[in-house]
Amino acid sequence: MLRDMVFSEEVCPVELEEIGKNIATSCGGLPLAIAVIGGVLRRSAKTLESWEQVAENLNAIVTWENEEHCFKILRMSYSWLPIRLKPCFLYMSRFREDETIEVSKLIKFWVAEGFLKPINGKILEDVAREYLDHLIDRNLIIVRKRGVSGKAKYCGVHDLVRDLSLKEARKENFTLVAKLSSNSAVFLGWSLNKDVELLWRFLTSLPLNMFKNIFVESIVHLVQCRYLSVPNLGRLLVEKKLRMLPVLWNLQTISINEFLTTITLPSMFWTMTQLRYINIISNIVLPEPPPKSQFYCTLENLQTLSFVRDFRCSEEIYKRIPNVKKLKIRYFSQDVEEGPYYSLSNLVHLCRLESLHLHGMMVSIKDISFPHSLRKLKIKRTNIWWSEMVAIGSLPNLEILVIGFQGVQGLEWNVTKGEFVRLKKLCVSDVDLKHWKTEEGSFPSLEELELWRLLLQELPDPLNFADIPKLRLINLIVRGKSIKSWAKQIKEEREGLGYGSIQIE
């Protein structure tokens, strides 16, 4: 087990075999200990001297019994971590036992805490992904679930690894900010004296989940706050906090999880150059950018913006958010088809955009020019027709397509060979589609297919899907038997072709 973890398909050098066996024996048959030490050896130099150092440390703790013995081995794995990875590992002590952690949120926390530094021009989020992969390779973080791209989507830590993180964090006084953040409601409920105010100035991460019973004005003291999460407040309190945003010059993340009809951002939003993520489930109204004659700021760090109501992608707007990667927009106005006003064709200028969520009956394909960088597209309640889907099918990097409630209009969808060449996941639900046809060779990269609440009368040839090499999952929520029978045929055809079996849910 240890050899396979360290060398994978490579051959273990002869000079390392004996010491490798000694290290494996010293792990006492504990799988977690072997996994962690395997991570240490995999990242260490494959030399006798390096392995002797590992063995020497292990030999000093072989007398301990099972759990305590394993814990000592874990501590050694921490001491061998590069300095840059240690804060990220210690941060895992903030999560509950057995908690499933959303990777995208974890990365936001790491960025907000200032653990990361740019490397070779890479953005901080890419650096965070590299750090996460290093900790996964060392078996200090467990992957709970991967996305269709293969990247970790949810993660966690073993109970013993979490205990190690807690003990080392306490030893290094790493938990100071975490304790202050967890008691944030107590501090905000006081009339701030000078000592408390001083503590506030050094807080960087703040989940404000008890705001209803506190003084809103105290937020102005959070001049160093970089992560602000504000759930369940009510409209008046949310709007008060948004008016205070210009005070929080260092703010990177705004997360508001209570649905309100509309939230209007203050005009000074355009001056907050540190912003990286705006995730508000209500409808955001963006203020008009101030004239260039007054001042001009570009929000170069902004990567996520959702949900924007009646998004006006004018030249003045897209030039101020040039690096946005994730955009969610809803349209309600009746004049959205008047192109110059909303300028959806200007989406093509967002050349780093990877994820787009479009919602609104006034949106049609003739108004939109998609950037080639797009990897994920979700559409609901649009005026796009199945006959126009070739424009989406030709996107060269599209990997995920989600067609939700009335996302596409019409009854017939014909997919030809050469469309959706990189699509890995297709979800279609709650549309009026009746006739679905595909040519042989369509969806060549498909891995997951979800069909929910459809009344299809005509389905593609099962062989066209059975012949897709990477197809592994068909998820169905349907009333009729015909789609279930069709999925079963695909499974049987694949087995006949010698492909691996697929899962049908």
- The tens digit of pLDDT for each residue in 358-387 reads 988 677 787 788 999 999 999 999 889 999
Q: What percent of the chain clears pLDDT 90, i.e. is strictly above it?
A: 32
Q: How far apart are CA 384 and CA 382, in angstroms?
A: 5
Domain edges within the chain: 1-80, 91-174, 385-505
Q: How far apart are CA 393 and CA 100, in angstroms?
A: 34
Q: Would you give the end-to-end CA distance of the chain in angstroms?
A: 33
Q: What percent of the chain clears pLDDT 70, i.e. is strictly above it?
A: 79
Q: How far apart are CA 131 and CA 115, in angstroms?
A: 10
Question: Does 1.10.540 match the CATH number of domain 91-174?
Answer: no
Whole-number pLDDT of residue 367 = 76
3-state secondary structure of 58: helix
Whole-number pLDDT of residue 56 = 77
Q: Is the pLDDT of residue 276 over 60?
A: yes
* Average pLDDT over every residue of 323-337: 79
Q: Confidence band (pLDDT; 50, 70, 90) for 215?
A: very low
Q: Confidence band (pLDDT; 50, 70, 90) for 339?
A: very low
What is the SS3 assignment for 73-142? Answer: HHHHHHHCCCHHHHHHHHHHHHCCCCCCEEHHHHHHHHHHHCCCCCCCCCCHHHHHHHHHHHHHHCCCCE
90: left (phi over 0), alpha (psi -120 to 50) or beta: alpha
Structure letter (DSSP) for residue 333: -
* Average pLDDT over every residue of 289-313: 84
3-state secondary structure of 162: helix
* Average pLDDT over every residue of 198-212: 42
Q: Is the pLDDT of residue 152 over 70?
A: yes
Q: How far apart are CA 97 and CA 160, in angstroms?
A: 10
* Average pLDDT over every residue of 126-154: 91
Q: How far apart are CA 473 and CA 380, in angstroms?
A: 23
What's this model's pTM, rounded to 2 decimal places? 0.78
Whole-number pLDDT of residue 85 = 92
- Name, of 181-190, 218-227, 494-503, the range with top average pLDDT: 494-503
* 304-309 and 326-330 strand pairing: parallel
Q: How far apart are CA 213 and CA 186, in angstroms?
A: 10
Pick the range with the lowest mean pLDDT from 210-224, 269-283, 414-428: 210-224
Given a contact cutoff of 8 angstroms between Cβ atoms, the answer to whether 228 and 206 are in contact is yes
CA dist 377 → 278, 370, 400 (Å):
19, 10, 6
